[in-house]
Amino acid sequence: MDGLLLVARLVLAAIFLVAAATKLLNRQGTVAAVEAFGAPLAVAPAIAFVLPLAELAVAVALIPTRTAWLGSIGALVLLAVFMAAIGINLSLGRRPSCNCFGQLSSSPIGLRTLARNAVFAAIGLFIAVGGHGNAGTNLNDWLDGLSTANRIGLAAVIVGGVLVVTAWRVLYELLKQNGRLLARVEALEEAAAGMGFAPAPLQLPESPFGLAVGTPAPTFSLPDIKGNTISLENLLARGKPILLVFTNPNCLPCKEVQKNLLDRAGLPDRAWPVFISAGDAEESRAKLNMISGPTILVEENGTTVLEAYGAPGMPGAVLIDTDGKIATPLFAGTDDIAALADFLLAPSATGIPLLDQMPMLAGGNGHRAPGALYPGDSVPSIVLPNLEGETVDLAEITRGRRTMLIFWNTGCGFCQDMIPELKDWERKKPGDAPEIVLISAGSAEDLRETGFRSTALMDPTFSVSDRFGADGTPMAILIDEDGKVASGLATGAGPVLTLAR
């Protein structure tokens, strides 16, 4: 029993120590997370300062035997507060990022977050009940009882763990730096294009996989992560080409492909991403539900659709044109799929034999959905209520100035997550930045509580969002000074904020 109590104390102390350290190292993210959970803006920085210090105090108290019981009580109190905050936000339909372990792990909250905290609370309860009066073996006594070989082994494990964490941190910073370099390269390319230096036309990569270009795409009918059955015919009814992506929730390259595609603002305007996830439905739902925007289907029993399209494995991707025909070979692997996405976004793309049948890529006007608005179209008179209940004409408020429409939903966890960054952008936006108009479904009261300075209009039935092709939230589109649609849709928090900048 004494040994179990020591192990439980060390495990819980390590958890709180990592949580405290990562929050202190990511102070800005901690403040944003506290605000996203609903704390008043005036006190959020103070809470973000005190919280990791309290976690650190709990971690330190759990190690010595004489203070371990008090440390376990402190851990239970903190975990109870965390679980209450998570439960309240989930009951309100909000899914802010927990930022529980800073940049090591920050994802939208859910039932798994509650379950994880419940496990931690169970460890704390075990120490509090079993260790009342005697919290187990003292760490110094235990270390004194180890042989020299065991001490060396323990030291090696600790050093190895520190090296792994350090290597992960270095890799994370390198990836961030790589992202910044890519952004600089894109900016230089845009500047060069503005001076008349046009890049060479992109060519579609070669691939030996998949069905012959021009053949009918194999039909399928699969449930999405909400349980709705969706067929290929349903998807084609959107009037857009389909970028069909084969993935798996436990496949690391698949996750890289998912992020890569979602970071490409404007891709859904060219070809709608549809992820077909193989494997357990619950796991797919839990891991892929964090993706906002694209359609996510689940093939729980086998890989029948993947095999029908001739994919050698996952990740894989193929383009289907608006007539339901195979428009490209099937590309496998992160690099080739990224090249396919770049090709689809390039205005100088060549090499698709069926390009003339794909108006969204070619820029033609065929296959347009009735009433839908495309780049170059003028925003018509659309009357919506603002937060005070007054009617506002969208055509009037977007004419004469650059405007960014953000399609929003107060019940969308992804929208909730980006509130701190969007409010920070509102406070610091440059003079040439577009004006923001939020077009939101959900509760007007919840939207009012966010404290946004920008114009907010209510669209409870998503009818206006649908006209602009916004099939999810958050999404955004630019309107120029003449009141015309001036960009494709940006999908997800990152691309929306990039478009704002």
Beta carbons within 8 Å of 166's beta carbon, 6+ residues apart: none
| pLDDT, position 358 | 41
Average pLDDT of 206-216?
82
| pLDDT, position 53 | 92
What 8-state DSSP symbol labels residue 264? S
Name the residue with higher pLDDT: 222 or 176: 222
- The region that residue 416 occupies, defined by phi over 0 for left and psi between -120 and 50 for alpha, beta otherwise, is alpha
Average pLDDT of 410-425?
81
Name the nearest CA neighbour of 106 among 90, 91, 119, 95.
95
Gap between the Cα atoms of 394 and 439, Å rounded = 10
65 neighbors 137 (Cβ within 8 angstroms): yes
To the nearest whole percent, how much of the chain has pLDDT over 70? Answer: 75
| pLDDT, position 210 | 84
What 8-state DSSP symbol labels residue 218? P
Residue 423: is its pLDDT beyond 60? yes
Report the chain's mean pLDDT, rounded to a whole number.
77
132 neighbors 72 (Cβ within 8 angstroms): no
Sheet of strand 295-299, all strands in order from the earlier edge strand to the far edge:
295-299, 272-278, 242-247, 316-320, 331-332
Chain segment 318-352, per-residue pLDDT in tens: 999 888 899 888 988 888 888 888 888 765 444 45
Residue 291: is its pLDDT beyond 70? no
Residue 85: is its pLDDT beyond 60? yes
Name the residue with higher pLDDT: 265 or 355: 265
| pLDDT, position 224 | 82
Residue 204: is its pLDDT beyond 60? yes
Asked if residue 315 has a cis previous peptide bond (ω within 30° of 0), the answer is yes
Chain segment 353-405, per-residue pLDDT in tens: 444 434 334 333 333 445 567 777 888 888 888 888 888 888 888 888 888 99
| pLDDT, position 268 | 79
| pLDDT, position 179 | 54
pTM for this model (two decimals): 0.38
Average pLDDT of 120-126?
89
Residue 201: is its pLDDT beyond 60? no
What 8-state DSSP symbol labels residue 102? G
| pLDDT, position 99 | 67
Residue type, 5: L
| pLDDT, position 353 | 46
Gap between the Cα atoms of 402 and 433, Å rounded = 8
Q: What is the DSSP string of 442-460?
A: S-HHHHHHTT--SEEEE-T
Name the residue with higher pLDDT: 446 or 101: 446
- The token duo for 218 is 């194999």
**Sign of the C-alpha dihedral computed for residues 99, 105, 107 and 111 taken in this order:** negative
What radius of gyration, in Å, describes the C-alpha atoms of the chain? 26
Domains and CATH numbers, the chain: 2-145 (no CATH), 221-362 (3.40.30.10), 383-500 (3.40.30.10)
Residue 452: is its pLDDT beyond 60? yes
Q: Find the angle CA(189)-CA(192)-CA(198) to the nearest 5 degrees.
A: 85
